[in-house]
Amino acid sequence: MNDDSINYVLDNYKGVRRDRALKIISGQLKETDLEFKQYVKNELVRDRKTIIEQYKNIEGLHEVRKACEREYKYYEKINDVVNKAEFQLNISEVDKLAKEILRIIATLGEHFIDVLSLNILEEHDVCQLLNINWKIFKNNKQAYIKQFGEKDKLVYKVISVMGPEYRYRKGRMKEIYDCPKYEMPVYWAMNERIMQEVDNNKELKKLADEAFEKLFPDVKTYRVVKDLEGNVIKVVEETEKSSSESN
């Protein structure tokens, strides 16, 4: 048994949660045991609540950033260097905090991906946990299987139906997700983790870009150009990047 894990559980968990966690660490509970499954479900519920809270925190930070940007532009206009620098620092601190929160969300998203990939829970349990309509899930799952072929991992099925199901239930736009991210917390948390992996892996990023261009050949893609202080100075088409690099 891992002493660090045991100490962490003893220090941070209470009651039934602590007892079940210790049983899992010691090997007394197996993945097929109902008590093990119940523990996993309870942990996912906690994670989902945390993701919702963190996305709401980010929305709050966005409002703070907007206020700081207004002050920054004002002091820039009147050439007040001291206050301008102060609000530029505030904006930087807000960005750092938002980035850290996204890291936490991505970590929780990875947890969901790992758990769903292990097929510990039944499909109807996952639908109940993630507030997905069971009937719609089954219908969309069949369409997914028809298009992509059956997959052993539940995570593929969940990701494929979560967005369409949400749009159906909420009457949202079909082409885009026009909702706050905390209304689809698990979907966006898993997406955040996947996109971080793509951004950190050049080969994956290249494959993703190629797949996007193949699926949407007429859609223009853009990149942001920033100065040394991180300020956006212009947005250009990716074709402009290619031509500048060739010169």
In a structure prediction context, what are the per-residue pLDDT tens digits for the chain, which is 247 residues long? 566 788 888 888 899 989 999 898 888 999 889 999 999 999 999 999 999 999 999 999 999 999 999 999 999 999 999 999 999 999 999 999 999 999 999 999 998 888 888 888 888 888 888 777 788 777 777 776 676 665 556 666 676 666 656 666 665 555 566 678 888 888 888 888 887 777 777 776 676 666 556 655 555 555 656 555 555 555 556 654 444 444 4
CA distance 3 to 115: 23
Residues 120, 37: contact at Cβ < 8 Å? yes
CA distance 123 to 145: 15
Would you state the structure tokens that stand for residue 234, as one six-digit string?
Answer: 């212009």
Smallest CA-to-CA distance from 187 within 207, 167, 206 is with 167
Contacts of 138 (CB under 8 A, 6+ apart): none
Question: What SS3 class is residue 130?
Answer: coil
Residues 129, 41: contact at Cβ < 8 Å? yes
Crossing angle (nearest 10°) for helices 185-200 and 154-170: 130
Q: Model's pTM, two decimal places?
A: 0.73
